[in-house]
Structure formats: structure tokens, C-alpha cells
Amino acid sequence: SQVMKPKVVFVLGGPGAGKGTQCANIVKEYGFVHLSAGDLLRDERQRPGSQYGELIETHIRNGTIVPVEITCKLIEIAMKNAQTNKFLIDGFPRNKDNLEGWKREMEDKVDLLFVLFLDCNEKVCVGRCLQRGAQGSGRSDDNEETLKKRIQTFYNDSLPIVEYYRTLNMVKTMDAGKSKEEVFSDIKEIFSKI
């Protein structure tokens, strides 16, 4: 029944907007389980015997988006393996294919609470990712060339998904250009009410 469905918050925003950082804060304070679609894909890429490793790496390096059949399945498995029923889904859905796949497979099985949108300008986003790369993130997409493509994909493909949820009145927008502490303090105002 309705009440037994897992609760989901989508956490969206450009590359380096602070999705991972703020999800970690929310987990500590509010007991959600954090599922980063990017992390799930990076783990699958490394998994011995995975048939998708090369495909995933190609998309990550090009800043393009992995087919939803792969990503959505990884999310579904991670949800089944978790001990709680409150999830932050970080970095998904990020294009029309993702949204349609989610609607087909998952929408009816969960209770989507809202979309937390970390709004951050392009320069700040790129600067944060480049700095993280320079500090040795080891991510194959934290370089100038890939970042241009990640930004382009974000504006062309991912923002329209945020806009779609905005038409449903489901988006809570945070100014993610502020300090980590200030952003989290704004986020707490939202989560303390649920």
C-alpha cells in the first residue's frame, strides 16, 4: 500500500553543484540512504565480469548519459539491498530517456517526495570539479575537455528534467553557490519539515 512504498528524493544539479557533499550531510542528520547514480555506475564499471564496464567508461569520459536500463537497474538493486526506506537518489534522472525508464520501471513502486535542485552557476561548477581533479580525485571526467561536455549535457538534457518537475510543483531550489555550511543550513529547513 501507499504507506509502505519507499520514499525518494531526487537530488539534481550540475557537475560539482555539491550533490554528493550535501547528500552526505542529509544522511547524517536525517537517516536517508544515499544512492549516487554516478557512484553506482563507477562501481559497476570496476566490477569484474561486468558486461557494461567499457560502455560506462565511454559515457563518463564523454560526459554523456548511460542508457537508463543499466542505471535504473543498479538503482533498483541498491534500493532492494538497503535497510531503510528513505532514499536520496543523486544525479538521476538526468535526461528524457532516464525519466521515461524511471516512469516505466519504478515510479509506481516509490513515493517521490520532491526534487532537491542544487542551483549553481557554470563557472563555479567547473572550478570545483577542476580543483577536485587537481587534488587527485582520480575521476576520468574531472578535466577541462570532459567538463565542457558535462556542462553541455547538463544544460541540454538534465535541466529540462528539473523544469518538468517544476511544472508539477515538486522542485525545491537551493542556492548552491554558497558555502557548504550555508547550503546545508538551507537544506535543513526543507528536511526538518518532513
Which 52-111 residues touch ligand UP5, going by CB under 6 A?
A: 59-60, 63-66, 71, 91-92, 94, 98
Annotated binding-site residue? 47? no
Q: Of how many residues is the chain composed?
A: 194
Q: Residue 45 binds which entry of ligand UP5, Mg ion, none, with Cβ cut-offs from 5 to 8 Å by kind? A: none
Cα 16 to Cα 63: distance, rounded to the nearest angstrom? 13
Mutual orientation of helices 68-81 and 37-46 as an angle, nearest 10°?
Answer: 100
Annotated binding-site residue? 94? yes
Q: What are phi and psi of 60, to 5 degrees?
A: -60, -45
Cα separations in angstroms, 5 against 44, 80, 82, 101, 177: 26, 12, 14, 19, 34
Rounded to a whole number of angstroms, the minimum distance from the CB of residue 6 to ligand UP5 is 18
Cα 75 to Cα 41: distance, rounded to the nearest angstrom? 10
DSSP 8-state assignment for residue 6: P
Rounded to a whole number of angstroms, the minimum distance from the CB of residue 43 to Mg ion is 13
Q: Residue 35 binds which entry of Mg ion, ligand UP5, none, with Cβ cut-offs from 5 to 8 Å by kind? A: none
Binding mask 119-158 for ligand UP5 (x = CB under 6 A): ---------xx--x--------x--------x--------
Q: Which residues are annotated as a binding site for CMP?
A: 98
Q: By CB under 6 A, name the binding residues for ligand UP5.
A: 13, 15-21, 36-38, 41, 59-60, 63-66, 71, 91-92, 94, 98, 128-129, 132, 141, 150, 179-180, 183
